[in-house]
């Protein structure tokens, strides 16, 4: 859900909020975290930087879970495979690697779209919320819609 800004935002705030979204494409969680910590006094910048940071943390957790699953299935397949000399790798290795790669590409596309769409909205001064992460950011920062203290 989106709402227009109740408090007017400065060009500096809009620029930093835009950067929080756009820099996550190249610098992952580092840029949103740095902007969140540097511009903590601005509710608008904190809100946008926290959303980008939460998206990056969720992607990192999902990536880590996928890698752990991949290693678990791979080693389980090796352990359960018949012991023959010069046996090819188990097919599960390739299937799971393809699935993991597709998930990474999907997450990358989601991050790209979120960065572009919400970066443009932040540059306009809008309090645009990511699905799920927007409400969570508002709760963490103890803000209501449009940055009004809850």
**The predicted structure's pLDDT at residue 87:** 76
**The predicted structure's pLDDT at residue 4:** 46
Least-confidence region, from 23-27, 60-64, 70-74, 137-141? 70-74
**Residue 6 binned pLDDT confidence (cut-offs 50, 70, 90):** low
Please list the alpha-helical segments (H only) found in 81-90. none
pLDDT above 70 as % of the chain: 96
**Residue 126 binned pLDDT confidence (cut-offs 50, 70, 90):** very high
Structure-token pair, residue 119: 């970066």
The residue with greater pLDDT, 80 or 117, is 117
The residue with greater pLDDT, 27 or 150, is 27
Cβ burial of 82 (10 Å; 0-12, 13-18, 19+) is exposed
**The predicted structure's pLDDT at residue 5:** 42
Domains of the chain, by residue range, sit at 11-147
Q: How far is CA 53 from CA 50, 66, 67, 117, in A?
A: 5, 20, 21, 16
How many residues are listed for the chain in this entry? Answer: 150
**The predicted structure's pLDDT at residue 130:** 96
């Amino acid at each position: 859900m989106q709402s227009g800004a109740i408090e007017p935002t400065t060009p500096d705030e809009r620029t930093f909020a835009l950067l929080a979204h756009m820099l996550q494409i190249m610098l992952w969680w580092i840029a949103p975290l740095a902007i969140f910590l540097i511009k903590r006094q601005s509710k608008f910048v904190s809100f946008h930087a926290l959303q980008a940071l939460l998206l990056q943390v969720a992607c990192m957790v999902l990536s880590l879970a996928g890698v752990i699953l991949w290693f678990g299935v791979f080693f389980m397949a090796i352990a359960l495979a018949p012991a023959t000399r010069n046996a090819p790798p188990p097919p599960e290795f390739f299937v799971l690697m393809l699935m993991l790669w597709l998930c990474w590409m999907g997450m990358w596309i989601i991050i790209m779209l979120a960065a572009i769409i919400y970066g443009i909205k932040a540059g306009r001064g809008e309090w645009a919320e990511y699905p799920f992460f927007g409400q969570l950011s508002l709760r963490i920062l103890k803000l209501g819609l449009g940055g009004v203290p809850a």
